[in-house]
């Protein structure tokens, strides 16, 4: 009988992270541990998805703090002794170019979005090596490829893509695969939780206008990213590492030179 596979998902109590956790649980492929910064988000997840009670383990911790990452590694080792899958999904976002981004915001965004995955992989490496065939999936963004509305967010995700490629080469000899997913706009609580918009109506107005930028005619759903993450964590992707995969509804292909279709 195959031993139980253990997965840790950061930012796993909402949005994309929670969708990935739910998918892995429904598939029965992994026992899932969700890492969240706040107990409030964990309680919200269980209120919205009571079916996960008892099926999804929760831990709290701040990935931007290396001491916290080491504590999480110790707790995970105590609980399970091994780690087969890691999804670095925890992230924050904020609008603003150079003049609007102060040093504190810069440090906070890069600390969670870029330093966090580095600290966590470093802390969890002994458990990942023990698995012999572990998979790490970093949730990046198409903002890594084209400067967008946030200098800190774009730079953090570009760095995450390079970290992905470097770790793939560095950790491959241990049987650890490392890949990244670059989503386009996905409707999640991320923008409202980070107060990027003044209120929910202004956020929903943006969501309503956004599909015009997508050749497939809609923005993303958390499940769209979860399906790719599930594949990359599975043995079906056993010869894929160092890949940066766009899951963006074609928005990065959109340009004025492609002839419009008749209505």
Orientation angle between helical segments 151-171 and 116-131, nearest 10 degrees: 20
Tell me the DSSP string of 123-155. HHHHHHHHHSS-EEEEE--GGGTS--SBHHHHH
* Choice among 119, 153, 174, 203 that is catalytic: 153
Which ranges in the chain belong to alpha helices (H)?
Answer: 15-27, 39-48, 66-79, 103-110, 116-131, 151-171, 190-193, 200-209, 222-233
Is 153 annotated in the active site? yes
5-18 as b/e, with b when 16 or more CB fall inside 10 Å? Answer: bbbbbbbbbbbbbb
Residues annotated as catalytic are 153
């Amino acid at each position: 009988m195959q031993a139980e596979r253990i997965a840790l998902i950061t930012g796993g109590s909402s949005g994309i992270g929670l969708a990935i956790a739910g998918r892995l649980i429904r598939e029965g492929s992994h026992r899932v541990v969700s890492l969240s910064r706040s107990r409030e988000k964990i309680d919200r997840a269980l209120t919205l998805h009571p079916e996960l009670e008892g099926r999804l383990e929760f831990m709290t911790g701040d990935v931007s703090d290396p001491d916290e990452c080491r504590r999480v590694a110790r707790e995970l080792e105590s609980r399970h002794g091994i780690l087969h899958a890691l999804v670095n999904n925890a992230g924050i976002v904020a609008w603003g170019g150079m003049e609007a981004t102060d040093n504190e915001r810069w440090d906070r965004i890069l600390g969670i979005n870029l330093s966090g995955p580095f600290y966590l992989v470093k802390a969890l490496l002994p458990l990942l090596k023990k698995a012999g065939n572990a998979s790490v999936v970093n949730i990046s963004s198409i903002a890594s490829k084209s400067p967008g509305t946030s200098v800190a967010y774009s730079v953090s995700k570009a760095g995450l893509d390079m970290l992905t490629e470097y770790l793939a080469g560095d950790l491959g000899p241990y049987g650890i695969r490392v890949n990244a997913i670059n989503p386009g706009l996905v409707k999640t609580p991320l923008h409202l939780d980070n107060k990027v918009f003044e209120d929910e109506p202004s956020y929903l107005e943006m969501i309503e206008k956004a599909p015009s930028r997508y050749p497939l005619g809609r923005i993303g759903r958390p499940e769209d990213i979860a399906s790719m993450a599930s594949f990359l964590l599975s043995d079906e992707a056993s010869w894929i590492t160092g890949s940066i995969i766009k899951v963006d509804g074609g928005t990065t292909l959109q340009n004025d030179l492609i002839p419009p279709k008749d209505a």
